Amino acid sequence: MTEPATSRIDDACATANRRVHVITYGCQMNVYDSRRIVQVLGAEGWVETADPAMADLILVNSCSVRDRPEKKILGTLSRLLPLKEAHPGLRFGVCGCVAQQHGDALLDKVPYIDLVFGPDRIADLPAILASTGKGLRQSRTTLDAPADYTFLDVDPSVETGATSFLTIMKGCDRFCAYCIVPYVRGRQVSKPADRVLAEVTSLVAVGVREVTLLGQNVNAYGKDRPGETDFPSLLSRIAGVPGLRRVRFVTSHPADADDRLLDLFGTLPALAEFLHLPVQSGSDSVLARMRRGYTAAQYLERLARVRRAAPDIALSTDFIVGFPGETDEEFEATLRLVEEARFDSMFSFKYSSRPGTLAAQTRDDVPEARKAERLARLQTLQDGISRERLARFLGREEEVLIEGPSRDTRQGGRGKAILEMQGRTRTNLTVNIATDVPIGEARGRLARVRIDEILVHSLRGTVLAWEAA
């Protein structure tokens, strides 16, 4: 899970308009949806504020895939409740998968929530707000049928950075046993390829250099539109957009990662060498119970294939430990897979039952203490491998796309005198760079950087050469 991302402020307009503060938890898809919320409200005269105390509307956009999202949302909103008491016009809303999942029940349970809306209802937000303005509390969580679903067009003017997310499909048809996505996001719908191309082109026109394509099962793109553009073909077309320097995609399912797709990593210059390919378990029997549709050996063969195409590619993955019935032996198979796969990074979680899923019908029988112990063993093993993988960068020259001031600089720490910037390698590693080039000139430029220092999860380096402005 990521930390909450708060919205940016537009000081110029903040005094004249109604203001919205959006708190985002969860995946990149939620970050993208939060941008669309700001876009839809912006068209109605709202501006975004980073300060909840300045807001007329506070929205929490949260994920229900893992963890205890309802608790998190209520914790966040109850901390902000004094603002509502001080400012009676302030409204609280909940959106995202949690809203989709709980709907009216959230309104029934929490008297200070004014509106609840699901991911398919973002475009309806102005109408929902008009109703809540008349004192009605609202819950809108219908999911559109795939044939009726319309993607919101991206307004490139809300993008201000060198990198951007772009949703190209939504929903999922796979129904993995533990996963709530098909129930809260609906069945798979792919955005027409020409629209994706037009959106990428419009993003590049406002200075975006790197686009990350998003979808719950992004590499199944096009499977709901037989005979039209499939994912490898779409990637090839996007990689050819003039001015776009990098393209990434997330999240992929191993069974939809075919040879054509994996081989593109060796042939498309704009396709950055990073692949997140969730495996979830190293045990064939657990994978079967999870309904993942591949074995550990088949998964490792996918990794070998992509490494043949791009030997230096960075690979990351997801694991769930303590899936119902997971034995010590099955968990040991996970550790063996990790040893063999040599991932660069990993996200790992203890299993928790999601209502309505197939796995929720089976008793969650692995004790919490055993889940915690397995998680710790898995993470300790991966930490060592991650350090070893990171060490290979020391002394190397890397292409870094500068994104902005480093976190340290933003927080007023290191770099008060010398600005420290932050960028990413093609392998998706953060690099901190001290430089006297003004941030306005550096943002969005590529630099050739020598890596001087390996930090815990990131790198520090020196610019050797800048791409011509």
Q: Does 179 bind ligand SF4 (CB under 6 A)?
A: yes
CB of 389 vs ligand SF4, minimal distance in Å: 25
Residue (212 or 216) nearer to ligand SF4, CB: 216
Residue (22 or 177) nearer to ligand SF4, CB: 177
d(CA 43, CA 36): 11
Residue 316 CB neighbour total at 10 angstroms: 17
Helix (H) or strand (E) holding 38: helix 28-42
Q: What is the DSSP letter of 295?
A: -
CB of 174 vs ligand SF4, minimal distance in Å: 4
Q: Does 175 bind ligand SF4 (CB under 6 A)?
A: yes
d(CA 119, CA 144): 10
Q: What is the DSSP letter of 149?
A: -
Q: Looking only at residues 212 through 271 of this chain, which bind ligand SF4 when binding is defined by CB under 6 A?
A: 216-217, 253
Q: Does 464 bind ligand SF4 (CB under 6 A)?
A: no
CB of 27 vs ligand SF4, minimal distance in Å: 10
Among 31, 166, 168, 172, contact with ligand SF4 (rule: CB under 6 A)? 172
Is there a contact between 442 and 421 (Cβ–Cβ < 8 Å)?
yes
HSE (CB half, 13 Å, CA atoms) of 9? 11
Site track 325-344 with ligand SF4 (rule: CB under 6 A), x = hit: --------------------
CB of 180 vs ligand SF4, minimal distance in Å: 8
- Look up residue 154 and give its amino acid: V
Nearest CA among 205, 269, 245, 277 for reference residue 403:
245
Q: Does 27 bind ligand SF4 (CB under 6 A)?
A: no
Residue (78 or 175) nearer to ligand SF4, CB: 175
Q: Does 348 bind ligand SF4 (CB under 6 A)?
A: no
d(CA 365, CA 349): 16
Residue (63 or 401) nearer to ligand SF4, CB: 63
DSSP 359-394: GGGS---S-HHHHHHHHHHHHHHHHHHHHHHHHTTT
Residue 375 CB neighbour total at 10 angstroms: 18
- Look up residue 98 and give its amino acid: V
Size of the site for ligand SF4 (CB under 6 A): 10
Residue (253 or 276) nearer to ligand SF4, CB: 253
Q: Does 176 bind ligand SF4 (CB under 6 A)?
A: yes
CB of 175 vs ligand SF4, minimal distance in Å: 5
Q: Does 359 bind ligand SF4 (CB under 6 A)?
A: no
The footprint of ligand SF4 (CB under 6 A) covers 172, 174-176, 179, 181-182, 216-217, 253
